[in-house]
Amino acid sequence: MESKTEQEARERRRARFERLAHVVAEPLHRFLLRRTSADLVEDILADTMLVLWRRIDAVPGLGDSPPEPDDVLPWCYGVARGCLANARRADGRRLRLVERLIRTLEARPATGDADHSELHAALDTLAALDREVLQLWAWEGLAPRQIADATGMTSNAVSIRLHRAKKKLAAQLGRKDAERSGHKRVEGRSSQ
């Protein structure tokens, strides 16, 4: 339970932030509008306000009375510039990723995509957790102990679910040998 002094401190902090936001929100919005596209302004302004909230005690010129814009705005503009730079870097990373994905797709051989509809239909018949365990094993290459870490189950429970899921999937796909599911077997256990 929060003590009365902690609650009062939290209320004072909130009140200080509200006074600051009242003074700087509109000038920061205009500042960002002049520096980036209109569709990014609201997100960057929100990031800026979050930083101001987190660093409310570091804002120079901010006391317990309404702040003077000339005292707080220069520092807040610096915060907004940092948030704008972060957004630009993130946008650049996204753009480079999209370009790399496009190049990868263009570099693929023109052979037709394999039809995996039967596999997906068979996977859809499995329970959600069985499907997840099977996909983590087959597609992500995780061992049962790693799947246990990812799902919060025990390694033993994962091994049992994996065995049953592979068996059900093989039956759905009409295979007689359920062991041909993509992973090598070593000493009776999957090497994955």
**pLDDT at residue 100 in the model:** 87
Q: Where are the alpha helices (DSSP H) in 108-189?
A: 117-124, 128-138, 144-151, 155-173
pLDDT in tens, 154-180: 999 999 999 999 999 888 888 655 455
Task: Determine whether domain 117-190 maps to CATH 3.40.630.40.
Answer: no
**pLDDT at residue 178 in the model:** 46
**pLDDT at residue 88 in the model:** 94
How far apart CA 90 and CA 12 sit, in angstroms, is 34
The domain made up of 4-107 has a fold known as Rna Polymerase Sigma Factor; Chain: A (1.10.1740)
pLDDT in tens, 47-89: 999 999 999 999 988 877 888 989 999 999 999 999 999 999 9
Checking if the pLDDT of 143 tops 80, the result is yes
Structure tokens at 12: 């004072």
**pLDDT at residue 110 in the model:** 58
Checking if the pLDDT of 184 tops 60, the result is no
Domain ranges for the chain, please list them: 4-107, 117-190
